[in-house]
Structure 1
Amino acid sequence: MTLTIPTINFADGTPVPLVGLGTYCLQGNPGADAVAAALQQGYRLLDTAAQYNNETAVGEGIRRSGVARDEVLITTKVAGGSHGRAATRTAVDESRRRLGVDTIDIVLIHWPNPSRGLTVETWATLVQLKEEGVITHIGVSNFRPEQLTELHDATGVWPAMNQIQLSPALARTEAVRFHAEHGIVTEAWGPLGTREGLLDQLVVHKIAGKHGVDPRQVVLKWIVDRGIVVIPKSKDPQRQASNATFNFELDDDDRALLATIDLGEEHAWDSREHEEW
């Protein structure tokens, strides 16, 4: 049975699936097979990055799936070491080559890396590449509201998407509100809260037992209900299907219980300090 995955729209009206496949650590032939399996089940959004060293496997997975290229949204990211005008252009060209595509659907700046002082220049380059038709949508990852505002102040362009660490353990309420005010789609990485021990929480298991579902489904349903895109990773076809199946509804009591486990903004990785290359 083909999955039916709900969508949300970018500011320009383009629909984006609310559940996509995260591909971190999915490499080589097993990674390509995992991507192909997800697409064959109905996934249409894939998340990769130059930093993951698996863009070639993701591109191969698309080809193995038999799903038409124009049905799939590919997201990749510019690594911290590729900031700057010339380096960003080269990085995007290299991502296109590894993926085996002419145009990339979504390109994000992976981390702001403020110590380099090249974030605005990198963003302006993505704006130009979008205008040239090399990229369809441009966005960022791990940017705080003031960092997003800096990009807009310099170029007049808000990111289409901001991918941030988010789960019931890190609800990121203020960031999500800021995104909504400026037409930015929120996408959640780390949605299962592995670093925060989210799936060990009694609250999550209590709600899962009440609805007769897997605890992961409770967590992912909570995110999707907020209109936030989520990209859980799995190489197992059954788990992939489960991660995108929500045949139940969370009620106000469930949401109130989940609100009690929010650790607060200070527990999320701070992109003013944390940098990746």
Structure 2
Amino acid sequence: MSEDKIVMFEGASPAMQAAAEQARKTFKYFWRELSWEYRRIIPGLGLAAVKVAFPTGSDGEGPEVEHMWINEIRFDGDTISGVLLNNPQWFDSIAAGDPVTVPLAEIGDWMYTINGKVYGGYSIDVMRSDMSKTERDEHDQAWGLDFGKPGEVMIVPAPTQEKQGFLSGLFGKKEAAIIVSTEDLPEHPMSENMAEKMDQGLQDEPSFTRSLDEDGWTLLQRDALAGNLSPVTLLVKHGADVSAVNPKGETALDLARKMGWPRIVAFLEKKLH
């Protein structure tokens, strides 16, 4: 993607402020998708990026902030880290390829693509909604992506079929297709589809439930943060320590509460009482 397609300058209009707020509120679904992308052998996402407003230090000659996208995203529940996708036009303290770290509370947008279809992109939707149809078509053609109808922001792909999965006995029938924000969308398809394989893997190697990654996190903490209920239930089933804390002193339950995953919160609360 060329630089002119990913640099955006926009004012702090009420619509843009609302878009940024909605992006932060739904960021957990972006991170849930990335948590599965990082497990895939064959990548499933075309683009996964977060937008950040960088102060330019302007003396009135240009914009106060420059909005740019970062990818290679990592997240610890509070802070987002990534790599800048393009070179700034209004300041030179950072450049494309530089590492970037910002609090979740300061991001302005997120988006990922699957087969050219865009999910997220709240600020882009605001701009597209203000365009004529011709301008919108030219914009979408420049990106080479399908942004959908203006005014409708997709968060996750709609389920293609109804199926009985690992969690169906616990939580009943799957919810309907999703377009706009909701507090607790259906379980990620991979969370259910990989349950049998994961169950067998943990049965063969239960030590995985107690292992720590390079940052000192357990698998249970990572999946609780990402909202992956099936892995959480299986890890606990095979001996994961629900009371274990990460280097910040947070348990899996703390992380699930922070991100707002009610089904995981309910499950872990039962295990702790």
Q: Same fold (TM over 0.5)?
A: no
Query: Is the radius of gyration larger for structure 1 or structure 2?
Result: 2
Q: Higher helix proportion, which one? A: 1
Work out which structure has the larger RCO, using CA pairs closer than 8 Å and 6 or more positions apart in sequence.
1
- What TM-score do you get using the length of structure 1 for normalisation? 0.24
TM-score, length of structure 2 as denominator length: 0.25
